Amino acid sequence: MKPQSHWGEQEFTRWLFGLQEEDEHARTCPECQAELTRLQAVRKSITAEPEVSPEFLAAQRRAIHSRLHQPARHWMRTRIWAPVSAGVVLAAIGVALMLPKAAQQPLVSDSDQKFFTEISSMEQSSEPRAIQPIHSMFEE
What does the pLDDT look like over 12-55, one tens digit per residue? 888 888 888 888 888 888 998 898 899 889 888 888 888 888 99
Residues comprising the chain, all counted: 140
Rounded Cα distance between 135 and 66, Å, is: 104
| Residue numbers of the domain that contains 43 | 22-48
In a domain, 132, yes or no: no
In a domain, 82, yes or no: no
Rounded Cα distance between 13 and 3, Å, is: 22
In a domain, 33, yes or no: yes
Give the tens place of pLDDT for each residue, 71-105. 666 666 677 788 888 999 999 999 988 888 777 77
Residue 2 has pLDDT above 50, yes or no: no
**Domains contained in the chain, number:** 1
The confidence score (pLDDT) of residue 5 equals 79
Cβ neighbours for 29, distance < 8 A, ≥ 6 positions apart = 6, 7
The confidence score (pLDDT) of residue 66 equals 86
In a domain, 41, yes or no: yes
